A and B are shown apart, each in its own frame.
Chain A
């Protein structure tokens, strides 16, 4: 296994207890995670998909919000590193009995766990926990705030397919306002030198988004033209009820990626989606399954990225009061 050596040859060293978001990471720290992920990627291609890197460590998947793919990805990542992992979800636990988040965490801490992987519908919950817990915290998605491992796997996938991130044009399309994936990607992409355009109707763009260092357009055509990567986001059905879009049909007509619209795109465009995909809404089926789509590569790379993150935060010195 070459992981340890590779990580140490990097100029940056991982010093953070937690991974809460990409906003607080430097470009060097992001590159370190991507590099580490690169060295973990081949483990999953071996007949015996397991290394002892985290043997004796305990990881808890604490998912206050339902998730299948992210939870499974973290679970497999931990198992392939030989960590012990426990899954906790609201159903059938004290979380559904009115226990506060911090009480839950205090109880887990009493069991001496090493890493808490946290998903919550409210922004900032991982930060709240990280401030109180000695264990490392990995944000697996908090409200509309950040989803750092998703953005890291997106960066990894783009770099893998394009060989670079710097100077690429990436258009993020759809419901930016409610998307933690969009926010993490905006931080990650801009830090690594990509040019980001966000595209959607004004109702789905958050206030002053232009001040995050991105271009803004409401016209899908201009977001497609010249883009190296189209990053689509899931549009939630609730948005229709909240009058953010008149209907999902209208959204598809104006912002859906169809085969026809791809004629405007560069011939080597990449199409990405964090899943789960609403076929026939933000993306048509033939595009999702078509030659430009790297949606399943994203899933594969997610495993390597999460192994890298688990590995790095577990190896970092534990500091009780580290600044996020």
Chain B
């Protein structure tokens, strides 16, 4: 395999603390050198002048819909969308049909991921069989098959006894359980945040407390068991504060937030815009600001897309009937740059940390750094270029977005996986 030399770029690698102009030499798929100026010596040059060179992004939370709803997305189309978004690793969530609750389905997704080849597809297995919240899956089998975490995402594990046992048992494997924190009774029938907008539109609301009561319970269970709980897609100020306190007490609690919860509020629903229907729902400006503050002070570890593609005809329905979910892989970076970096809320290095180094701390494996010896999974970003979101142009089959028509900053110009140019 030929050597590649990325020349003239500004390297942002929070894991190694690097944030400045550097060349990167890639040899046999790994990073061989990172120095201010490296001579070509026959390596294939890749000019990155004026660009940022960052670790390939890692998404902790991707719905690939395969198996079961290949009309919404497949591993292949999901990988292509990920590449366009600058991601080199994605984690497939288990709310498929059948659920990822046994080795056969894990193997299928890994196999499809390898066939596509461009993105590392990792798998999150289910905590309970069929994600029904009744009996635990065979954790050992799932982790042996390569699952990086377990979750019943899409639904919460609402039974406290079951969650306690799951947290205890998972300790053997030193892997996190990812909780979709939502009390099913408090959220029942809700389609958006409970507040002034839901009142005006006459839609059933989901109170913020549907999330925070389960966050509070699971923090208590993490304390009881010593287990590792990771909260998916935080949406409310109350949850952020609970996790902040839990971390202060030294509990093994991690969490993520989505680009849409960082950038939008329930006002985005407007006049029944189903592209802004998402679970957990977009909440108030106060919640949004609290999420950003949580990201800044380290309470929130990662940014994850919760990429949840749906077909056009499903989203073109009334608000009650339309499915929850935002197609987010292709807009994630742009939304974060525009919402967080441009106004000076996060530095580029902090943002890239939330999208690469920190996710690796949760799911393990390689990637997430540009230090010598690491796999050469790299994204090259034009930080000043802008683009306008047109969901019809998405590679994902989910061609819906609450960001349609918005102009975003930050364009992914090259993606390398194991040193080979694969996208976008």
On A, residues with C-beta under 8 Å from B are 23, 100-102, 120, 122-125, 127-128, 142-146, 180, 183, 206-209, 211-212, 324
Contacts and interface: CB of A to CB of B under 8 A. Distances in A.
B112 interface: no
Interface residues of B, number: 20
B319 A207 contact: no
Contacts of B198: 206-207
Given A207-B205, A324-B271, A128 B199 contact: no
B194 interface: yes
Contacts of B201: 123-124, 145
Contacts of B207: 207
A278 B319 CA distance: 30
B171 to A, nearest CB: 38
A132 to B, nearest CB: 8
B196 A208 contact: yes
Nearest to A129: B318
Interface in B307-323: 313, 316-321
B272 A124 contact: yes
B321 A122 contact: yes
Contact of B272 (A123, A144, A206, A207): A123
Contact of B202 (A101, A128, A145, A211): A145
Interface in B190-217: 194-196, 198-203, 205, 207
Contacts of A124: 201, 203, 271-272, 318-320
Of the candidates B201, B313, B316, B319, the one having the most CB atoms from chain A within 10 angstroms of its own CB is B201
Contacts of B205: 206-207
Given A124-B272, A207-B194, A143 B203 contact: yes
B196 A123 contact: no
Contacts of A211: 196, 199
Closest 3 CB pairs of A and B: A124-B272, A145-B202, A144-B202
A23 B203 contact: no
The secondary-structure label for the interface of chain B is loop
Nearest to A125: B318
A122 B320 contact: yes
Nearest to A144: B202
6 contacts: A101-B318, A124-B201, A180-B202, A208-B195, A208-B196, A211-B199
A207 B202 contact: no
Contacts of B320: 122-124, 143
B200 A123 contact: no
Contact of A209 (B199, B271, B317, B319): B199
A6 B318 CA distance: 38
Interface of B: 194-196, 198-203, 205, 207, 271-272, 313, 316-321
Given A23-B200, A123-B202, A143-B202, A128 B195 contact: no
Nearest to B319: A124
B81 to A, nearest CB: 26
Nearest to B207: A207
A180 B203 CA distance: 11
Nearest to A23: B200
Given A124-B203, A124-B271, 18 more contacts: A23-B200, A100-B313, A102-B316, A122-B318, A122-B319, A123-B272, A124-B319, A127-B271, A127-B272, A144-B202, A145-B203, A183-B202, A206-B199, A207-B199, A208-B195, A209-B199, A211-B199, A212-B200
A300 B320 CA distance: 33
A142 B321 CA distance: 13
B272 A128 contact: yes
A123 B198 CA distance: 10
Contact of B199 (A127, A146, A208, A324): A208
A183 B197 CA distance: 12
B112 to A, nearest CB: 30
Contacts of A212: 199-200
B243 to A, nearest CB: 25
A120 B317 CA distance: 12
B281 to A, nearest CB: 13
B257 to A, nearest CB: 23
Contacts of B316: 100, 102, 128
A212 B313 CA distance: 34
Contacts of A142: 202
A68 to B, nearest CB: 22
Interface centre among A122, A124, A127, A145 (most CB of B within 10 A): A124
Contacts of B317: 100-102, 128
Contacts of A180: 202
Given A124-B272, A145-B201, A207 B195 contact: yes
A201 to B, nearest CB: 16
B273 to A, nearest CB: 9
A101 B318 CA distance: 8
B199 A120 contact: no
Nearest to A146: B202
Contacts of A146: 202
B314 to A, nearest CB: 9
